[in-house]
Amino acid sequence: MIPPPANVDETRREAGLQSNQPARERWAHAWRTSTRYFVSDDWKWAWFLVACYCAIEVGTTYAFLLANQWQRNFFDAIEQRQGGLFLSLVFAFSMIILLQIGTSFAHNIVGWTLSIRWRKWMTEWYLGRWFARDRFYEIERLRMIDNPDQRIAEDVKEFTSMGTVYGTSPLSILIALIFSVIRAVAFGAILLETSSPISIPLFGYRIPLPGGDLIWFAIIYVLVGTTVITWIGRPFVRRRMREQHYDADFRSDLIHVRRNSEQIAFSGAQGTEQGGLRVAFENIRRNWYRLMLANAGLQVGQGFYQQVMGIIPLFLTVPKYFAGAISFGQVQAARDAFSQFSGTLSYIVTAYPSIARQIANFNRLKALDDAIDQERPRGIGFTPGGTPDGVAISATGLVLRRPNGEPLMEVSDWTIRDGERWVIEGPSGTGKTTLLRAIAGLWPDGAGQVAMTKRGSAMLVPQRLYLPLGTLKNAICFPDRAEDHDDATIAALLERVRLDAHADAMHELRMWQDELSPGEQQRVALARILLQRPSLLIVDEATSALDADNAAHFYQAVIAAMPDATIVSVVHNEKLAAYHTHRLRLHHGHATISMIAEDAA
Ligand SMILES: Nc1ncnc2c1ncn2[C@@H]1O[C@H](COP(=O)(O)OP(=O)(O)OP(=O)(O)O)[C@@H](O)[C@H]1O
């Protein structure tokens, strides 16, 4: 079966060239992503911390109510010139302040503890799935999404952040929303004290409404405000999403330049590279101006909304004060309660930037989840450990294709028996590396079946070796841990591969990938092979950076140490072909097989 072409639609979607995924699917994903941690193995901590968080919110609401009550008493005391009450009011005020500081402190401690536990769990969850079934490799191979690293690091961080005032996490938004409603009820009760009854005229009758004028004005005000501001804020959400996208691109371009600094410096290509970075930054700049505009619109809307909210209750209560129906303290308390009431009801307006960021995060995390989960069916079947006795690799009906479905080559049936040493040859771009990937189970595009001895006893050595961060000993022992091998063995290996000059620095933490020359890195690969002694060795131009003598030494050392090992290597040097027993030559999309001895004859 030919796998469907790879999904690379996300960038188009983020650039607005393709419509978004269905809302239902996105809501379902948002729900699953937000609730997963709370049914995980850390659920006891999760719920305990959420309970504490909510309890602190109750304390915060109580402190708000006390402050409102205090205002009323304070202004009444001033109006009635009750100097004797002043000291006790100051004392009450300090207690309220202490309570407010205490709840805010506790809010931070609990919020941050929950953030880090949630983030740790979610990071582990994403890393586990990203590494599983080689998905991280497949996502890169097909370039399915941009910057998965940023999504796992940054987006997860924002997603789990239970920040101070309005956290960015959807949970903190939800809790704040619930408490907004609770506070709205509490402050609504205060408003009722100073509200006048209200009724609406209908067909000549006056229908009385429950509550009072202040409450109805606040509700209408919030409804109109929220609708207008949500509408004004739509471009802001879009711009925020693009901002994250462009920032990540710029950063990865910078990393790319850093990694290739030597070639760029040597070729004097700084100008060209800077030009490229300027183009990447230009996207950020252009988007920034649009974001600024969108933000300005949002801020004007929010500012207008906040300011008018402070004035409306005065218009409604001051006439009652002049009429002697309420006290001056009640005017102040009503003003405070009105802004708290409508402020809490209009949570969506105030928290719109956080909600916008969260929508962008959900979209980015959904794309990552889709890329991890939407596994294309394998075209080339792969069975590790599925070869009969005496056979290291067997391929039947093997056809390789590019990810977009274009045919690359046909190998048909190919059997590599234990102890055979195969060289793969062919012009550049014919698919030699792809063939090695296919027999190692890393290339699923095409058709046919590949069986290989157990993966654990095989080793793949690419042209550019991966050296993990850490010591030189770490690099040689990879994928084992450095502690698994003693220093004397590693020192002897370094001598064997002609790297004894570095033996003393075996335990030094350095950027070995940058420090060692390509040829030295290929000798580290040889040391790794001699340490692991795999029964099947797949080598992709692993001697390309070595001089003729060292390249020959590479094969001589391997064959001397592991005379029975099966070797499949891609080499361009005919002299190195002599260390092999069989040849597979790729030409015009087809493979021909021969014995080396036959060729020589
Ligand atoms: N991840 C990929 N996505 C799309 N095309 C790919 C990918 N990897 C390889 N190809 C394409 O497959 C073809 C074969 O590439 P491959 O690296 O196997 O050639 P090669 O024979 O090893 O070349 P060389 O001798 O230059 O190393 C090339 O046209 C390459 O562009």
DSSP classification of residue 3: P
* Buried-state track 6-22, b at ≥16 Cβ within 10 A, e below 16: beeebbeebeeeeeebe
> Across 282-401, where does the E strand assignment appear?
381-384, 391-401
- Ligand 1 atom with minimal separation from the 435 CA: 18
In this prediction, residue 117 has a pLDDT band, given cuts at 50, 70 and 90, of very high
* CA angle, 73 then 75 then 80, to 5°: 90
Same domain as 541, residue 576 = yes
Same domain as 126, residue 176 = yes
Q: Is the pLDDT of residue 288 over 60?
A: yes
Ligand 1: which of 142, 402, 539 to mutate, most ligand atoms within 8 Å of CB? 402
Q: Which of 373, 404, 435 is the last residue of a domain?
A: 373
* The two three-digit tokens of residue 504, written as one number: 């003393």
- pLDDT tens for residues 541-577? 888 888 888 889 999 999 999 999 999 999 888 888 8
In this prediction, residue 599 has a pLDDT band, given cuts at 50, 70 and 90, of very low
Q: Which of 373, 398, 430 is the last residue of a domain?
A: 373
Same domain as 368, residue 297 = yes
Residue type for 60, please? Answer: T
Give the whole-angstrom CA distance, residue 197 versus residue 225: 24
* CA angle, 468 then 473 then 479, to 5°: 50
467 phi and psi angles, rounded to 5 deg: -110, 115
In this prediction, residue 527 has a pLDDT band, given cuts at 50, 70 and 90, of very high
Residue at 459 is within a domain: yes
Same domain as 167, residue 65 = yes
* The two three-digit tokens of residue 192, written as one number: 């009722």
Q: How large is the average pLDDT for residues 74-95?
A: 82
Share of the chain above pLDDT 70, in %: 92
Residue at 324 is within a domain: yes
* The two three-digit tokens of residue 362, written as one number: 């959900």
Same domain as 394, residue 263 = no
Give the helix/strand (H/E) hosting 270.
helix 270-322
Distance 363 CA to ligand 1 centre (A): 32
ipTM of the complex: 0.95
- pLDDT tens for residues 171-220? 888 888 888 888 788 877 877 777 676 666 677 777 666 667 777 888 88
Same domain as 218, residue 249 = yes
Q: How large is the average pLDDT for residues 454-479?
A: 84
Q: Which of 331, 354, 373 is the last residue of a domain?
A: 373
Distance 140 CA to ligand 1 centre (A): 14
In this prediction, residue 122 has a pLDDT band, given cuts at 50, 70 and 90, of very high
Same domain as 81, residue 172 = yes
Q: Is the pLDDT of residue 503 over 90?
A: no
Distance 517 CA to ligand 1 centre (A): 25
Residue at 4 is within a domain: no
In this prediction, residue 163 has a pLDDT band, given cuts at 50, 70 and 90, of low
Ligand 1 close to Cβ of residue 434 (< 6 A): yes
Using CA atoms of 444, 403, 12, 130 in order, give the dihedral in degrees to the nearest 10: 20
Cβ contacts of residue 33 below 8 Å, gap of 6+?
159, 362, 365, 366, 369
Number of domains into which the chain is organized: 2
CATH number at residue 88: 1.20.1560.10
Ligand 1 close to Cβ of residue 585 (< 6 A): no
Residue type for 88, please? Answer: S
**pLDDT the model gives residue 374:** 83
Peptide bond into 479 cis (omega under 30): yes
Same domain as 196, residue 320 = yes
Same domain as 174, residue 224 = yes
Q: Which residue has the higher pLDDT, 344 or 1?
A: 344
Ligand 1 close to Cβ of residue 403 (< 6 A): yes
**pLDDT the model gives residue 165:** 52
Label residue 373 exposed, middle or buried (CB < 10 Å: 0-12, 13-18, 19+): exposed
- Ligand 1 atom with minimal separation from the 404 CA: 4
In this prediction, residue 5 has a pLDDT band, given cuts at 50, 70 and 90, of very low
Nearest CA to ligand 1 atom 14: 431
Distance 395 CA to ligand 1 centre (A): 20
Residue at 489 is within a domain: yes
Please count the CA atoms within 13 angstroms of the CA of 140 that sit on its side-chain side: 7
Ligand 1: which of 432, 436, 569, 570 to mutate, most ligand atoms within 8 Å of CB? 432
Same domain as 413, residue 344 = no
* The two three-digit tokens of residue 543, written as one number: 């001697």
**Bridge partners, 570 (sequence order):** 424, 540
> Across 453-589, where does the E strand assignment appear?
458-461, 536-540, 566-570, 582-587
Residue at 256 is within a domain: yes
DSSP classification of residue 583: E
Q: How large is the average pLDDT for residues 42-55?
A: 93
Lowest-pLDDT range of 83-87, 144-148, 365-369, 597-601: 597-601
Residue at 405 is within a domain: yes
Residue at 5 is within a domain: no
Q: How large is the average pLDDT for residues 395-412?
A: 89
Same domain as 467, residue 360 = no
Residue at 1 is within a domain: no
Instruction: Report which listed range, 47-51, 100-104, 192-196, 449-453, is most confident.
Output: 47-51
In the predicted model, what is the mean pLDDT of the chain?
84
**pLDDT the model gives residue 164:** 55
Give the whole-angstrom CA distance, residue 347 versus residue 454: 59
Please count the CA atoms within 13 angstroms of the CA of 518 that sit on its side-chain side: 12
Ligand 1 close to Cβ of residue 428 (< 6 A): yes
Ligand 1 close to Cβ of residue 432 (< 6 A): yes
Q: Which residue has the higher pLDDT, 93 or 194?
A: 93
Same domain as 368, residue 490 = no
- Domain with 420, as residue range(s), is 381-600
**pLDDT the model gives residue 211:** 67
- Ligand 1 atom with minimal separation from the 426 CA: 21
Q: Is the pLDDT of residue 16 over 50?
A: no
CATH number at residue 557: 3.40.50.300
Q: How large is the average pLDDT for residues 367-371?
A: 91
Give the helix/strand (H/E) hosting 450.
strand 446-452
In this prediction, residue 19 has a pLDDT band, given cuts at 50, 70 and 90, of low
